[in-house]
């Protein structure tokens, strides 16, 4: 119906566009309209369904963040890093992160996170040449993405022969951080010897400082409580039990969800990145082109935080009130501990990619292309302790009967802590005389990911027929190593909260450790509810230094030292020990062959384009890990909430698996008129499981808590997700720089990887807190369900003649036959993640050297993942939902001279927050208030 309604007006303009275009003024090659026209031309001429963003000029990309630019496109939304507020990932048609393959000049980029996706905040946007999003596959490039293939193109010297210089400098400030920080870059490009040799080099320094307020609930585990725990119970005693023969008031029969840990933090993040690139091009003959390039990125993210976090145990809750869904909306817990926390996370990410490309025009009809590259990423290559934590507080003899009241929805209400303070006295919430030492956590993660890849392709073209044939090889080697103070149990060396709490563990802390307090009034914009009045401001490094200054407890008596914690190995320093249970080495080798044919014909006098291809991929996976089963669990003399796992002998484990898939694709385009096009596309694509899930060993952390024993297992035999995809589109290019389109899509996906959580015993070890066999919440992944995702993308781009005004508007509506069912409490609950309706609007003006852009991006609520920070419930992996959001950004620039341009940017001008919730909307998980960011700068181009 849409097609028929558009045919009439389109036919009336069949010859008009070419006539009017011939009379147009000179085509604009820079600025917003020039960029949009190039994007539109690429979309119109492509055989498949693509979207494109091109640089407005050399050194002038539309947004300061690559992901932020991508979200302006139909069907694409972004994810943000909570503490930084930076867009760091994209979702395409509901498929996020690891479902999308990101290439740099057609090459896979390594990432040391262990996932398939890259963090887009590590990709410097200043000198990006363009982004192409392939929503349908190009078999000569890749078929390894169910969402989309995103290709980042960097400039090369032969793109613009001659000499070119681009320099940019700017300063930015985030309103809460209150500090202006610099960004600057320079690009130089020059061709020589009659444009047969060229060199391009650029370097960019970027810094962002961000202060973020965060209120969190680290998990809503599901389980069952006993009637005696409920408010109004008349039971004389309350000892909740699973024993079916016990008194009914004591039996755990009532389904519920509770807050495992509640708290708030203030975070200050300093994100510094250096990007460098050099590209050499040489034409030894007119028909041969060699390109050698190297891309380098160095990013250092340092976050200091302080706040509080309070731990709860379902069996200890009393005076419980439930809502109709089973969410515990109020309770008390006698003798609760109060923890004030501080931490420093300092991660160093480095990536380097080197590649050589050769293009040889053997004849006028035959072209050969060979490409080889090496890419390696490092996480903390200097071996640093990347996370330092401090936990102090009070409890036990002076622990209050704490409780939490949930009074509203997670999108605008935070839980309210009541009964807090020493002995329940709210005025003593931050009484320094009552605070003592507790646990000390240090973590050192060190990952590498190395990719070697090569491809060879031949293209034969004659008249309206193009044939492509070729193959590729990719070798991906991922290595993960971790060390921490859990492994040697040093984290408990001074646990217990000190003498004020009436325990033999922990030491009193001097007031000089603290830098005062930060008030919590107006902590989150737009939120009601209340936090305790202040956060204690202190640093983890100062806390650890003070405890170290007490000396070596093996050579002197230190009151408050936990003599049973560390088997006589703790000598005063909080050194980390290798966590061999977390080690994994994953190797993945993939061979691929492809064949495609593209030809142009006519149907009833209308141009008809047909492209068909097939790609065969064969993958070999090897996975090595170290297994250790627990032989005993011991409690803590200084803190009854802590447990230590005593591991058995180490057992190296290696497994191998193989799989292969044939991946066909077909693209059809019929030009009903010069302006009105119909498309149909069908393909099969796959997405491989993330490398970090392929470990063969069960990892059981050494340091654990009462009532929250956990273990995590991988699965080296996981198969890829496999999808059959269909697209049908109508596109109307009704005038220059303007079009409207409707695209219907459907994806049938099978082999979904699901994370199940089973409560089970392991090696028959006994839990000393209960005297019975320990019950671990064991997370494991398996291939399982299949699902269908369907949706429609609506896009409209329009310029108002020669006025300089225009807009881009799009909306995406998605649905699935496997939505989330909040009433399903089985272990095997499943739903498609990432699906959300979204809409974008960009209004712009571009004329007389003035550019202005206002962008609004909306995304509805969606299921992000299965799993929460504390994943210890009885009903499988609990979900994490992201609440709906609307962000508005502004940008402007003015061309002072042909060479000099000044610009400004204001991000998140409405002070939007990012929030998540659990199974039900009142189960708040996280709220991050990441504030507004303002940027001003100048560009010089020659």
Write the pLDDT tens digit of every residue in 774-785. Answer: 888 787 778 878
Contact 177, 209 (CB under 8 A): yes
Using the predicted structure, report yes or no on whether residue 65 has a pLDDT greater than 90: no
Lay out the sheet containing 95-96: strands in order across.
Answer: 76-80, 87-92, 95-96
Q: Which tokens hold the place of 311?
A: 């731990």
Q: 1 falls in which pLDDT band (50, 70, 90)?
A: very low
Greatest mean pLDDT among 46-60, 72-86, 634-648, 917-931 lies in 917-931
**pLDDT at position 10, please?**
38
How many CB atoms are located within 10 Å of the residue 334 CB? 14
**pLDDT at position 62, please?**
63
Contact 468, 458 (CB under 8 A): yes
pLDDT digits (tens, 9 = 90+) for 683-720: 999 998 888 788 887 778 777 878 778 887 778 888 99
**pLDDT at position 58, please?**
62
**pLDDT at position 429, please?**
97
Task: Measure the CA–CA gap between 714 and 691, rounded to whole angstroms.
Answer: 10
Average pLDDT over every residue of 268-297: 95
**Mean pLDDT for all residues in the chain:** 89
CA distances from 507 to 246, 394, 438, 692 (A): 42, 11, 8, 39
Average pLDDT over every residue of 520-548: 95
Comparing 359 with 98, the larger pLDDT belongs to 359
What three-state secondary structure class fits 883?
Answer: coil
278 contacts: CB under 8 Å, gap ≥ 6: 199, 200, 201, 293, 294
Contact 639, 438 (CB under 8 A): yes
Average pLDDT over every residue of 533-550: 96
pLDDT digits (tens, 9 = 90+) for 490-524: 999 999 999 999 998 999 999 999 999 999 999 99
Contact 718, 693 (CB under 8 A): yes
Least confident of 20-24, 244-248, 269-273, 823-827: 20-24
**pLDDT at position 60, please?**
62
pLDDT digits (tens, 9 = 90+) for 863-880: 988 888 887 778 878 999
Using the predicted structure, report yes or no on whether residue 370 has a pLDDT greater than 90: yes
Q: How is 615-654 classified by DSSP, letter by letter?
A: EEEEEEEEEEEEE--EEEEEE-SS-TTEEEEEE---EEEE
Average pLDDT over every residue of 619-624: 93
How many CB atoms are located within 10 Å of the residue 679 CB? 21
pLDDT digits (tens, 9 = 90+) for 120-170: 776 766 778 888 889 999 999 888 888 889 898 889 999 999 999 999 999
Average pLDDT over every residue of 371-391: 95
Task: Measure the CA–CA gap between 578 and 488, rounded to whole angstroms.
Answer: 9
Contact 886, 870 (CB under 8 A): no
Q: How is 407-426 classified by DSSP, letter by letter?
A: -S-TTTB--EEES-SGGG-G
**pLDDT at position 238, please?**
95
Comparing 16 with 302, the larger pLDDT belongs to 302
Task: Measure the CA–CA gap between 301 and 449, rounded to whole angstroms.
Answer: 19
Task: Measure the CA–CA gap between 584 and 479, rounded to whole angstroms.
Answer: 6
Least confident of 85-89, 560-564, 741-745, 768-772: 85-89
Which stretches of 30-152 are DSSP H helices?
Answer: 31-45, 66-70
Backbone angles phi, psi at 9, to 5 degrees: -65, -30
Task: Measure the CA–CA gap between 202 and 127, rounded to whole angstroms.
Answer: 8
CA distances from 251 to 239, 316, 394, 834, 871 (A): 8, 14, 32, 38, 23
User: Dmax over Cα atoms in the chain, in whole Å?
Assistant: 96
Task: Measure the CA–CA gap between 265 and 926, rounded to whole angstroms.
Answer: 11
Task: Measure the CA–CA gap between 100 and 752, rounded to whole angstroms.
Answer: 15
pLDDT digits (tens, 9 = 90+) for 578-612: 988 888 899 999 999 999 999 999 999 999 999 99
What three-state secondary structure class fits 22?
Answer: helix
Task: Measure the CA–CA gap between 229 and 447, rounded to whole angstroms.
Answer: 46
**pLDDT at position 12, please?**
37
Task: Measure the CA–CA gap between 156 and 292, rounded to whole angstroms.
Answer: 10
CB-count burial class (<10 Å; 0-12, 13-18, 19+) for 395? buried
* Cα angle: 355, vertex 360, 361; to 5 degrees: 150
Backbone angles phi, psi at 543, to 5 degrees: -60, -45
Counting every residue, how long is the chain? 942
Average pLDDT over every residue of 530-550: 96
If residue 755 lies in a helix (H) or strand (E), which one and from where to where?
Answer: strand 753-760
Residue showing tokens 């991946």 = 663
Average pLDDT over every residue of 103-126: 80
Task: Measure the CA–CA gap between 570 and 563, rounded to whole angstroms.
Answer: 9
Partners of residue 739 on adjacent β-strands = 797
Least confident of 62-66, 518-522, 565-569, 778-782: 62-66
Residue showing tokens 């807190």 = 769
Task: Measure the CA–CA gap between 484 and 233, rounded to whole angstroms.
Answer: 44
Using the predicted structure, report yes or no on whether residue 2 has a pLDDT greater than 80: no
Residue showing tokens 């510094």 = 272
**pLDDT at position 82, please?**
67
What three-state secondary structure class fits 752?
Answer: coil
Using the predicted structure, report yes or no on whether residue 56 has a pLDDT greater than 80: no
If residue 532 lies in a helix (H) or strand (E), which one and from where to where?
Answer: none
CB-count burial class (<10 Å; 0-12, 13-18, 19+) for 22? exposed
Structure letter (DSSP) for residue 566: S
Q: Which tokens hold the place of 831?
A: 């739903």
551 contacts: CB under 8 Å, gap ≥ 6: 558, 572
């Amino acid at each position: 119906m849409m097609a028929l309604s558009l045919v009439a007006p389109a036919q009336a303009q069949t010859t008009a566009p070419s006539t009017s275009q011939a009379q147009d003024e000179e085509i604009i090659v820079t600025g917003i309209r020039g960029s949009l026209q190039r994007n539109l031309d690429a979309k119109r001429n492509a055989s498949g369904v693509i979207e494109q963003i091109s640089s407005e000029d050399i050194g002038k990309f539309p947004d300061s963040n690559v992901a932020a630019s991508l979200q302006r496109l139909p069907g694409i939304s972004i994810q943000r890093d909570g503490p930084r507020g930076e867009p760091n990932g994209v979702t395409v048609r509901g498929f996020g992160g690891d479902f999308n393959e990101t290439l740099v000049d057609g090459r896979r980029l390594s990432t040391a996170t262990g996932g398939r996706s890259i963090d887009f905040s590590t990709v410097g946007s200043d000198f990006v040449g363009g982004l192409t999003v392939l929503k349908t596959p190009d078999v000569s490039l890749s078929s390894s993405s169910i969402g989309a293939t995103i290709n980042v193109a960097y400039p090369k010297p032969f793109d613009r022969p001659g000499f070119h210089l681009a320099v940019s400098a700017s300063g930015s400030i985030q309103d809460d951080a209150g500090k202006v920080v610099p960004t600057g870059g320079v690009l130089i490009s020059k061709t020589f010897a009659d444009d047969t040799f060229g060199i391009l080099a650029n370097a960019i320094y970027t810094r962002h400082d961000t202060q973020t307020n965060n209120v969190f609930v680290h998990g809503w585990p599901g389980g069952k409580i006993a009637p005696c725990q409920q408010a109004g119970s008349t039971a004389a005693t309350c000892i909740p039990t699973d024993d079916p023969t016990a008194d009914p008031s004591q039996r755990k029969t009532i389904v519920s969800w509770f807050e495992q840990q509640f708290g708030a933090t203030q975070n200050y993040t300093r994100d510094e990145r250096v990007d460098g690139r050099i590209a050499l091009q040489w034409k030894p003959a007119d028909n041969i082109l060699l390109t050698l390039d190297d891309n380098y990125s160095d990013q250092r993210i340092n976050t200091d935080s302080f706040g509080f976090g309070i731990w709860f145990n379902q069996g200890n809750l009393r005076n419980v009130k439930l809502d109709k869904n089973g969410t515990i909306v109020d309770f008390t817990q006698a003798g609760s501990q109060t923890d004030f926390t501080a931490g420093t996370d300092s991660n160093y990410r480095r990536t380097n990619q080197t590649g050589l490309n050769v293009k040889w025009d053997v004849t006028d009809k035959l072209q050969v292309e060979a490409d080889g590259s090496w890419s390696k990423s490092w996480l903390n290559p200097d071996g640093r302790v990347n996370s330092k934590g401090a936990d102090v507080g009070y409890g036990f003899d002076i622990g209050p009967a704490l409780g939490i009241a949930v009074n509203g929805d997670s999108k605008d209400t935070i839980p309210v802590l009541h009964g807090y303070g020493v002995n329940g006295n709210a005025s003593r919430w931050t009484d320094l005389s009552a605070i003592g030492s507790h646990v000390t956590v240090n973590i050192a993660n060190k990952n590498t990911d190395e990719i070697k890849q090569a491809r060879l392709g031949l293209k034969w073209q004659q008249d309206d027929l193009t044939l492509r044939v070729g193959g590729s090889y990719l070798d991906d080697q991922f290595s993960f190593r971790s060390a921490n103070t859990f492994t040697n149990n040093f984290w408990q060396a001074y646990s217990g909260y000190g003498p004020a709490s009436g325990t033999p563990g922990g030491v009193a802390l001097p007031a000089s450790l603290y830098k005062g307090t930060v008030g919590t009034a107006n902590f989150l914009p737009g939120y009601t509810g209340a936090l305790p009045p202040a956060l204690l401001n202190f640093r983890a490094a100062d806390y650890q230094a003070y405890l170290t200054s007490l000396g070596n407890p093996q050579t002197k008596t230190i009151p408050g030292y936990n003599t049973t914690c560390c088997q006589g190995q703790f000598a005063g320093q909080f050194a980390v020990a290798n966590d061999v249970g977390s080690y994994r080495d994953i190797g993945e080798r993939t061979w691929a062959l492809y064949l495609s044919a593209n030809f142009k014909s006519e149907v009833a006098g209308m141009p008809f384009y047909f492209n068909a291809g097939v790609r065969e991929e064969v993958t070999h996976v090897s996975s090595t890990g170290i297994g250790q089963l627990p032989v005993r669990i011991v409690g803590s003399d200084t803190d009854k909430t802590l447990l230590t796992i005593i591991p058995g002998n180490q057992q190296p484990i290696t497994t191998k698996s193989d799989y292969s898939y044939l991946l066909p694709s077909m693209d059809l385009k019929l030009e009903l008129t010069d302006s009105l096009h119909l498309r149909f596309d069908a393909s099969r694509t796959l997405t491989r499981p993330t490398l970090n899930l392929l470990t063969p060993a069960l990892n059981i952390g050494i340091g654990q808590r009462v009532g929250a024993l956990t273990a995590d297992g991988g699965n080296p035999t996981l198969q890829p997700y496999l999808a059959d995809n269909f697209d049908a589109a109508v596109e109307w290019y009704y005038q220059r720089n303007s079009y409207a389109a409707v695209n219907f899509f459907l994806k049938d996906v099978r082999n979904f990887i699901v994370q199940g959580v089973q409560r089970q015993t392991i090696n028959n070890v006994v839990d000393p807190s209960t005297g019975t066999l320990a019950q671990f919440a064991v997370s494991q992944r398996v291939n399982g369900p299949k699902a269908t995702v369907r949706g429609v993308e609506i896009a409209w781009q329009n310029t108002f003649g020669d006025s300089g005004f225009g807009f881009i508007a799009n909306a995406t509506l998605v649905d699935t036959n496997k939505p989330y069912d909040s009433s399903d409490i089985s272990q095997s609950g499943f739903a498609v993640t990432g699906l959300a309706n979204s809409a974008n609007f960009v209004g712009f003006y571009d004329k007389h050297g003035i550019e202005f852009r206002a962008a609004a991006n909306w995304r509805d609520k969606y299921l992000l993942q299965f799993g929460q920070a504390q994943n210890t419930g009885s009903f499988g992996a609990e979900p994490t939902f992201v609440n709906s959001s609307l962000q508005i950004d502004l940008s402007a620039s003015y061309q002072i001279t042909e060479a000099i341009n000044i610009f400004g940017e204001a991000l998140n001008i409405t002070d939007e927050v990012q929030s998540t919730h659990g199974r039900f909307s009142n189960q708040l998980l996280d709220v991050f208030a990441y504030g507004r960011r303002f940027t001003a700068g100048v560009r010089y181009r020659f």
